[in-house]
Amino acid sequence: MTETVLPFQVFEAPETWRTVDFISDLHLQEKETATFEVWQAYMQNTTADAVFILGDLFEVWVGDDAAEQHTFLQRCTAVLKACATKRQVLFMRGNRDFLVGTAFLNACNVIDLQDPTALNFASQKWLLSHGDAGCLGDTGYQAFRQMVRKPSWQNDFLAKPLTEREHIARQLRAQSEILKKDSRAVYADVADEWSSQLLQQAGATCLVHGHTHRPALHSLGQDPPKQRYVLSDWDVASARPRAEVLRWHFEGQVERINLIS
């Protein structure tokens, strides 16, 4: 694998923090009210000192101006604002909501995280990522990702009328749904080589990411010990309902909390 050197944002946790939560891949959308309601209750009631949202909070994001036009996005905004008055809320863009702007995050009092970000907490350093950049086996997606992450592409897209952007997003979602229903489709996982390389560059012991919807804990070697935590996606209305939080305690304990009783 060609070596990839990435700049790392470093976030220093305040000494007062005792627990931090990680969530990702909620894919919030107006037609999935059950998932929104569980998320809203969680954001109101979590006892964590901080909530790290590691991408794909929203099913789609076509520009910050959409939040001014749609009631559902205004409800999401209100949840973020209310939670941010009680604890720190930190947001990392995913492959579905990579167009979330700093203006929106600032208005919600949410901290903007780069991908990847190194978190120093409890005398350890963990590396946080959405994870899609590490799915190296999906070469088609990686080419698409490289294109849409360019400032020139984003500026051209955001210059289009909101209705046109929403139409393009609906077309892309429809294509995605067709692929998901194809039983022959094989989805690339985050490459262990990519994970190990980034951890070494950052001097971190653990990678936390979402994107793949395959919650698990992977060992990446024992010299020194390194791990990869994969976050769960959320889908409360599914036949297999899911809504899970990964919680890291100051004492070192890590637990997965299922919000669906």
Whether 16 has a pLDDT exceeding 60, the answer reads yes
User: For position 1, what pLDDT does the model report?
Assistant: 47
Whether 117 has a pLDDT exceeding 80, the answer reads yes
User: For position 175, what pLDDT does the model report?
Assistant: 79
Instruction: Summarize pLDDT for 164-187 with one digit per residue, the tens.
Output: 999 999 998 887 776 666 555 567
Least confident of 19-23, 66-70, 184-188: 184-188
**Stretch 133-143: mean pLDDT, rounded?**
94
User: For position 180, what pLDDT does the model report?
Assistant: 63
Residue 201: pLDDT band with limits 50, 70, 90: very high
Whether 8 has a pLDDT exceeding 70, the answer reads yes
User: For position 182, what pLDDT does the model report?
Assistant: 57
Across the chain, mean pLDDT equals 93
Whether 222 has a pLDDT exceeding 80, the answer reads no
Domain ranges, ordered by start, for the chain: 9-258
Instruction: Summarize pLDDT for 96-115 with one digit per residue, the tens.
Output: 999 999 999 999 999 999 99
Query: According to CATH, what is the number of the domain 9-258?
Result: 3.60.21.10
**Stretch 2-15: mean pLDDT, rounded?**
77
HEC-encoded secondary structure of the chain? CCCCCCCCEEEECCCCCCEEEEECCCCECCCCHHHHHHHHHHHHHCCCCEEEEECCCECCCCCCCHHHHCHHHHHHHHHHHHHHCCCEEEEECCCCCCCCCHHHHHHCCCEEECCCEEEEECCEEEEECCCHHHCCCCHHHHHHHHHHCCHHHHHHHHCCCHHHHHHHHHHHHHHHHHHHCCCCCCCCCCCHHHHHHHHHHHCCCEEEECCCCCCEEEEEEECCEEEEEECCCCECCCCCCECEEEEEECCCCEEEEECCC
User: For position 177, what pLDDT does the model report?
Assistant: 72
